[in-house]
Amino acid sequence: MITYSRQSINNTDINAVNKVLKSKFLTQGPEQIKFEKNLSKITHSKYVATFNSATSALHISCMALGVKKGDQVWTCTNSFVASANCALYCQAKVDLVDINLHDFNISTEHLESKLIQAKKKNKLPKVLIPIHFGGMPPDLKKIYSLKKKYKFKIIEDASHAVGARYFGSRVGDNKFSDITVFSFHPVKIITTAEGGAALTNNKKIFEKLSMLCTHGITRDKNKFFNKKKEKWYYEHQLLGYNYRLNDIQSALGISQIKKLNKWTKIRNKIAARYIKAFKHLPIDYQIQKKGIISSYHLFVILIKKNKKKITRDKLYNYLKKKKIFCNVHYIPIHRQPFYKKLGFKEKNFKNAETYYKNCLSIPIYPDLKSYEQKKVINEIIKCFKN
């Protein structure tokens, strides 16, 4: 069985986790601090707060940027629902932006025209959450220029993009944003089983992220409202959550980070082989611009109209029979019954609709053997030839 994605765990990872299980700290100990330091080192971000998922990191990031009831938070419709749900957790209003069909990321044209309309109605977003879809950074330079003009904050949802690069900048360095969020779910680039992180260069934002992740409690005597001197004293100042990543998970993360560069190269090689092999097929894929290195969490093919009338569903079912399990990323958020109830209409997301009907995520992960990739390629070619 070949799946679209899966984790890669070896004995080094297992030994790292075992070591923690035999140690004094299982929850918040030295491994969590080290994992945060290592994430900071590889991304060049000043501050890192780890979380028990990207979903919780997104929630707390919205809170740390002051998102509250009635605020507008915008994100891209081609994403997992967590990118939008985080705003609803804060009782904000969500609006969605269409994608472009070059890299399947947020359409900056659609974004700009929505911003022009929103300004007229005095309904500009407080926060925009662009996605690094499949590991491919969106047009951050244009998004950043719009941020300056329309004065919104940015949370990059880089759940897919640990290890990606953008014109000399490392995804996570927040050159174009206030906060960047990563996911360490097993199908992603590196894993801690469940896990996430929020990265920022702003000390105040970081302090909020850390406090809200752990109940809204501080143990820093310089921040106490009551000037207590007792060593055991702590203070609950904000309504936060228990969203912490533990030391067992962090040890796995530390071990996984060591393989990040190697894995990014492997993923890019796998992608290059697909692109070469499908040259003559009616298939589009994400275009990687010069200066960008995708982490290729996903390799998505977009099936164009073709003489053989091969559709996405036909290809999906054909590959499934051959024990190749692909997936669809994503059912656009505006199509989910929960969001439809909020009033979103398919006709407002023309590109995402075209994309959704024709997209398929085919296998890509570091342990994908070359004979397995050949099988995937051969079966796809066969399906189009039959």
In the bound state with ligand PLP, the residue whose beta carbon lies nearer, of 2 and 58, is 58
The 3-state DSSP composition of the chain as helix, strand, coil percent (nearest 5) reads 40, 15, 40
Shortest reach from residue 53's CB to ligand PLP, in Å: 3
Shortest reach from residue 58's CB to ligand PLP, in Å: 6
In the bound state with ligand PLP, the residue whose beta carbon lies nearer, of 55 and 77, is 55
Cα dihedral: 112, 116, 117, 123 (round 10): 100
Three-state SS sequence of 179-198? EEEEECCCCCCCCCCCCEEE
Decide: is 185 part of the binding site for ligand PLP (CB under 6 A).
yes
User: Which residues contact residue 317 at a Cβ distance below 8 angstroms, ignoring those fewer than 6 apart?
Assistant: none
In the bound state with ligand PLP, the residue whose beta carbon lies nearer, of 128 and 281, is 128
Instruction: Say if strands 2-3 and 324-325 run parallel, antiparallel, or are unpaired.
Output: parallel
Q: Using CB under 6 A, which residues numbered 321 to 350 contact ligand PLP?
A: none
How far is Cα 259 from Cα 16, in angstroms, rounded to an integer?
14
Other CB atoms within 10 Å distance of the CB of residue 245: 29
Question: What is the per-residue binding string for ligand PLP in 2-41, x denoting contact by CB under 6 A?
Answer: ----------------------------------------
Decide: is 247 part of the binding site for ligand PLP (CB under 6 A).
no
In the bound state with ligand PLP, the residue whose beta carbon lies nearer, of 175 and 185, is 185
Shortest reach from residue 322's CB to ligand PLP, in Å: 26
How far is Cα 244 from Cα 234, in angstroms, rounded to an integer?
18
Decide: is 255 part of the binding site for ligand PLP (CB under 6 A).
no
Residues that contact ligand PLP, how many (by CB under 6 A): 14
Strand segments (E) across 92-152: 93-97, 127-129
Q: In the set 45, 83, 100, 177, which binds ligand PLP (CB under 6 A)? A: 83
CA geometry: angle at 84 spanning 82 and 88, to 5°? 105
Among 370, 355, 382, CA closest to 101: 355
Decide: is 180 part of the binding site for ligand PLP (CB under 6 A).
no
Q: Binding segment for ligand PLP among 49-57, 111-119, 263-271, 354-362 (CB under 6 A)?
A: 49-57
How far is Cα 195 from Cα 190, in angstroms, rounded to an integer?
10
Respond yes or no on whether the N-terminal peptide bond of residue 89 is cis (omega within 30° of 0): no
Q: Using CB under 6 A, which residues numbered 129 to 168 contact ligand PLP?
A: 131, 157, 159-160
Shortest reach from residue 6's CB to ligand PLP, in Å: 14
In the bound state with ligand PLP, the residue whose beta carbon lies nearer, of 153 and 185, is 185
How far is Cα 282 from Cα 315, in angstroms, rounded to an integer?
13
Shortest reach from residue 52's CB to ligand PLP, in Å: 8
Decide: is 59 part of the binding site for ligand PLP (CB under 6 A).
no
Decide: is 294 part of the binding site for ligand PLP (CB under 6 A).
no
Positions in the binding site for ligand PLP (CB under 6 A): 53-55, 79-80, 82-83, 131, 157, 159-160, 183, 185, 196
